[in-house]
């Protein structure tokens, strides 16, 4: 998400210092949060946080509840954090639970973003939590031991903890017995974490998901399920083109619907407030809104692509990477391959459309949603309501999917809900619920992108020159994070995965240009890698074919100084069984890519069907994400990321017709369904490196691996996405 | 208007008869396990059983529910439901979980009708349920396991 991209330059051990962070935090307030003071940060000399206050609650019933700094939208971080705590606490897995916690930046600030902003994104949750939550578990364990030793009048050295039981000699009690006393013990400053050889949960499959039971029982755990006394429901009518405003509203018919209490104009949209969803939906359909399109985007996608392609043919605005003598190398190259790629806007299309509940009691404002950045949203809440930070309570619920959608600089859907609540003077709590159509046409898409690429080969077939121009809207330029994230005019999120390519190409240049459009764009599961990996990994195959080399051998050669890339490459290839020839009408493709400090290789097989279309049958994937904390959850993210990538690359696109979004529901923005789900095998590198992300890294290689396989059959590359524009798939 | 949900009869008073069953369940009866995804019977998140058949409750008017037996995720019971939930637990199927009520309702309807479904049978029933997290490999494994448990 936000700042790790900035930190990409510094690798995970780097982080924003306090001064840098404060400048970011101040900027983040933007126009919304004037007078809002920066969030607190733990300074040297502060007393250590009490883990039994901020990270772990132990009940009298011995239930251990981990307080999660990170929002769980399916990626399994609640299970991951519980694993880290249970490991060091020596709890029994069956006693572990996890809930979301917010409102304490000292405790919950994301370490990857400088340690002060609570946010979940860029696959950083495990990186941020690896030491923090193990330390919390170990410290809590020491405090339980102290409390037991005191109660039993024995030396702490004689107290043992095992599987949720505390014992000394013949005495044995569960955690609950000493929970209260332990929480009041002095907090030890230095605890020793277990050696890897002593782990009994980390790296095993014993830690099953902590949320499966509630998620299969229909428990009311999402924002859409929140219920409060006198809760009203709001739906919203947003402009049919980006950048339009409400000119006038005729709500005569809408207000006649029984159960409708208010119709409110919030400037860029009109909301119906009602006693329940059905009257709200009915009334929304009866609104007559006249829109002001004078500042709206009214072009169609083809016109925008034409503009992007024109820009791509010119010099880039900024150069992100330049090494060697690129022009000289092209001048002496034997062959030059040129290619232009087009990537459409993509919607996150989470299963739960965006929503947020707002209530005001006295001076206290409360919000309930899957706050992906509760601190970022807190700025927005302060800005809209004028509430003081100490009077803001954000409740971080499960997200019914996110893929990046639930945090953005504007806190868009949170602000919608706040403005509606404010418009009715907070007289009753309000739940804003977007309909699918609102969600699909609501913007914050993966940007539309054009890549223009030249690659030069010398007489012996070596790749000697590479020049790439990436054209698309910047996510960060013009945002409150520009100052911190954008350096020398380069938004790293637009070039990541290309400008930092591991391929050993001596003369290498990547430039970028940022056209401005009124269509909001956002991080979308794997961000820049979602398009750069496709370009890099399909072009490597093209160049291999052009020079009669095996694509995998060419990668081996170009990656000889990148051991972790090579590690996953070999692990995937050796498990794919590709030493034997493929069956008739089966074609193979491969891709390897690093993103978010994790390395993924995918070897795929497609079948050509009788009707000439292609079906992805099998993916053999390998991943190196450092210490595999929960191998089964790594596998789950690999499976899910592959299916997610398959949906995007085969069929997904958001297009505009004279400025209006053409895909409003799942009939035309149709994700992969079960019958297209391939067989997926996952192999995990048994690494001892610090653990890194797994939410996003599985996505980038799938598209190019699939395209490379199809190309083996058709002989033609596909450069205009989704694939379905060119081939049946 | 009266409806029978999970074996209990409820009086919905003067509810608008066009109200989709989904919103009657969620707003009037406070049964919130059934989810809203698309409002157009395209994603399956709102799947319930009407007389044992899987139905997309977002596009099913409550007036048509009168005189039927409706089951939702909160009340689903019996051998098939237990086998499905056990298999879902074993495979840790859910990720975000939002579509899973619908997935389970579809899977139970499938196995209640056909305890030994082929892959084509599974695809036929389950293709109406979208999962954006991509839990399909585990849904397939869980249905296969549940089928074995029911056969065994």
Q: Per the CB < 8 Å rule, is A219 touching B26?
A: no
pLDDT for res A26: 33
pLDDT for res A235: 98
Report the pLDDT averaged over residues A555-571.
Answer: 98
Q: Which of A233, A399, A639 sits opposite B137 (nearest CB)?
A: A639
Q: Which residues of B touch A674 (CB under 8 A)?
A: 122-123, 126-127, 129, 131, 136, 139-140
pLDDT for res A45: 63
Residue of chain A whose alpha carbon sits nearest to that of B72: A218
Q: Per the CB < 8 Å rule, is B93 touching A644?
A: no
pLDDT for res A29: 32
Confidence of residue B152 (pLDDT cuts 50, 70, 90): confident
- Please name the helix (run of DSSP H) or strand (run of DSSP E) that holds residue A530, with its range, or none: helix A529-546
- Complex confidence, ipTM: 0.99
What are the two backbone dihedrals, phi and then psi, of residue A365, each rounded to the nearest 5 degrees? -105, 130
| Angle, in degrees to the nearest 10, between helices B100-113 and B79-90 | 130
What are the two backbone dihedrals, phi and then psi, of residue A728, each rounded to the nearest 5 degrees? -70, 125
> A564 or A189: which carries more pLDDT confidence?
A564
Distance from CA of B135 to the nearest CA of A (A): 6
Total Cβ atoms within 10 A of residue A195:
7
Question: What string of H, E and C letters represents the secondary structure of A101-140?
Answer: CCCCHHHHCCHHHCCCCCCCCCCCHHHHHHHHHHHHHHHH
Summarised one tens digit per residue, pLDDT across range A667-719 is 999 999 999 999 999 999 999 999 999 999 999 999 999 999 999 999 999 99
For the cut 50, the answer to whether the pLDDT of residue A23 exceeds it is no
Report the pLDDT averaged over residues A353-381.
Answer: 97
Q: Per the CB < 8 Å rule, is B98 touching A665?
A: no
Q: What is the CA radius of gyration of chain B?
A: 15
Burial A104-116 (b: 16+ CB within 10 A, else e): bbebbbbbbbbbb
Contact A233, A240 (CB under 8 A): no
Q: How far is the CA of B22 from the CAs of A274, A657, B77, in angstroms?
A: 17, 33, 20
Two tokens, residue A241: 């083109």
Residue of chain B whose alpha carbon sits nearest to that of A76: B95
- Please name the helix (run of DSSP H) or strand (run of DSSP E) that holds residue A418, with its range, or none: helix A412-423
Closest alpha carbon to A430 in A557, A322, A280, A320: A280
Give the whole-angstrom CA distance, residue A598 versus residue A25.
28
pLDDT for res A43: 58
Contact A178, A168 (CB under 8 A): no
B133 touches chain A (CB under 8 A): yes
Q: Per the CB < 8 Å rule, is A640 touching B95?
A: yes
Can you state the percent helix, strand and coil of chain A, rounding each to 5?
35, 25, 45
Summarised one tens digit per residue, pLDDT across range A413-461 is 999 999 999 999 999 999 999 999 999 999 999 999 999 999 999 999 9
B100 touches chain A (CB under 8 A): yes
For the cut 80, the answer to whether the pLDDT of residue A606 exceeds it is yes
Q: Cis ω on the peptide bond leading into residue A548 (within 30° of 0)? A: no
- Computed over every residue of chain A, the mean pLDDT equals 93
Q: Cis ω on the peptide bond leading into residue A479 (within 30° of 0)? A: no
């Amino acid at each position: 998400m936000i700042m790790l991209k900035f930190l990409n330059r510094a690798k995970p051990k780097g982080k924003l210092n306090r001064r840098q962070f404060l400048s970011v935090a101040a900027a983040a307030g933007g126009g919304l949060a004037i007078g809002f003071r920066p969030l607190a940060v733990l300074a040297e000399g502060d007393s250590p946080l009490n883990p039994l206050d901020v990270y772990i609650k132990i009940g009298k019933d011995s239930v251990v509840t981990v307080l999660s700094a990170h929002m769980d939208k399916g990626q399994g971080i609640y299970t991951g954090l519980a694993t880290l705590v249970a490991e060091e606490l020596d709890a029994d897995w069956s006693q572990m639970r996890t809930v979301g916690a917010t409102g304490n930046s000292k405790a919950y600030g994301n370490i990857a973003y400088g340690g002060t902003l609570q946010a979940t994104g860029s696959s950083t949750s495990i990186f941020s939590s690896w030491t923090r939550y193990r330390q919390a578990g170990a410290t809590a364990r020491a405090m339980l031991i102290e409390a037991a030793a005191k109660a039993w009048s024995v030396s702490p050295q004689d107290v043992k903890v095992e599987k949720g039981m505390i014992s000394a000699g013949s005495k044995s009690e569960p955690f609950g017995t000493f929970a209260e006393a332990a929480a009041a013990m002095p907090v030890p400053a230095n605890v020793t974490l277990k050696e890897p050889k002593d782990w009994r949960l980390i790296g095993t499959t014993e830690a099953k998901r902590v949320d499966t039971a509630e998620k299969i029982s229909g428990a009311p755990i999402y924002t859409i399920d929140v219920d409060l006394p006198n809760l009203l429901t709001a739906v919203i009518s947003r402009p049919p083109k980006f950048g339009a405003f409400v000119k006038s509203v005729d709500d005569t018919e809408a207000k006649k619907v029984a159960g409708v209490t208010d119709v409110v104009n919030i400037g860029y949209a009109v909301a119906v407030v009602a006693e329940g969803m059905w009257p709200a939906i009915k009334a929304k359909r009866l609104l007559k809104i006249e829109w002001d399109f004078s500042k709206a985007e009214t072009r169609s996608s083809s016109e925008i692509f034409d503009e992007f392609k024109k820009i791509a043919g010119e010099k880039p605005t900024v150069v992100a990477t330049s090494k060697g003598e690129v022009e000289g190398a092209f001048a002496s190259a034997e062959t030059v391959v040129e290619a232009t790629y087009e990537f459409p806007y993509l919607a996150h299309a989470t299963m739960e459309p965006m929503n947020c509940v707002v209530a005001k009691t006295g001076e206290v404002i409360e919000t309930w949603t899957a706050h992906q950045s509760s601190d970022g949203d807190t700025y927005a809440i302060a800005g809209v309501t004028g509430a003081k930070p100490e009077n803001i309570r954000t409740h971080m619920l499960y997200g019914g999917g996110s893929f990046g959608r639930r945090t953005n600089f504007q806190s868009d859907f949170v602000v919608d809900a706040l403005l509606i609540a404010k418009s009715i003077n907070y007289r009753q709590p309000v739940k804003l619920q977007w309909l699918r159509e609102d969600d699909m046409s609501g913007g914050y898409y993966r940007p539309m992108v054009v890549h223009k690429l030249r690659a030069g080969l010398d007489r012996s077939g070596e790749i000697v020159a590479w020049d790439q121009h990436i054209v698309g809207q910047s996510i960060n330029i013009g945002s409150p994070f520009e100052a911190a994230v954008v350096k020398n005019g380069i938004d790293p999120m637009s070039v990541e995965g290309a400008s930092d390519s591991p391929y050993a190409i001596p003369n290498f240049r990547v430039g970028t240009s940022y056209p401005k459009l009124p269509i909001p764009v956002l991080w979308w599961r794997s961000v820049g890698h979602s398009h750069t990996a496709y370009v890099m990994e399909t072009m490597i195959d093209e160049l291999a074919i052009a020079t009669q080399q095996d694509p995998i051998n060419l990668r081996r050669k170009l990656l000889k100084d990148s051991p972790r890339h090579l590690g996953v490459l070999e692990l995937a290839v050796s498990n794919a069984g590709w030493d034997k020839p493929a069956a008739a009408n089966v074609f193979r493709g491969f891709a390897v890519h690093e993103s978010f400090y994790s390395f993924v290789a995918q070897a795929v097989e497609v079948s050509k069907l009788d009707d000439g279309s292609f079906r992805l049958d099998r993916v053999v994937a390998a991943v190196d994400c450092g210490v595999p904390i929960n191998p089964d959850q790594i596998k789950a993210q690999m499976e899910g990321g592959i299916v997610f990538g398959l949906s995007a690359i085969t069929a997904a696109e958001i297009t505009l017709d004279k400025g209006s979004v053409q895909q409003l529901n799942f009939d035309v923005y149709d994700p992969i369904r079960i019958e297209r789900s391939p067989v997926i095998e996952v192999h995990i590198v048994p690494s001892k490196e610090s653990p890194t992300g797994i939410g996003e890294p599985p996505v980038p290689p799938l598209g190019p691996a699939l395209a490379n396989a199809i190309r083996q059959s058709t002989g033609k590359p596909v450069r205009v996405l989704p694939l379905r524009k060119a081939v049946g798939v | 208007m009266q409806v029978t949900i999970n074996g209990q009869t409820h009086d919905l008073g003067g509810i608008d008869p066009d109200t989709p069953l989904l919103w009657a369940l969620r707003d009037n009866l406070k049964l919130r396990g059934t989810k809203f995804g698309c409002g157009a019977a395209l994603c399956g998140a709102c799947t319930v059983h009407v007389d044992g058949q899987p139905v997309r409750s977002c596009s099913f008017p409550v007036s048509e529910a009168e005189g039927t037996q409706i089951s939702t995720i909160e009340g689903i019971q019996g051998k098939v439901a237990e086998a499905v939930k056990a298999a879902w637990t074993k495979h840790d199927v859910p990720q975000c979980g939002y579509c899973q009520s619908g997935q389970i309702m579809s899977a139970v309807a499938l196995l209640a009708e056909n305890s030994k479904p082929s892959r084509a049978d599974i695809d036929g029933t389950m293709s109406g349920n979208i999962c954006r997290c991509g839990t399909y490999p585990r849904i397939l494994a869980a249905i296969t396991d549940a089928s074995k448990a029911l056969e065994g």
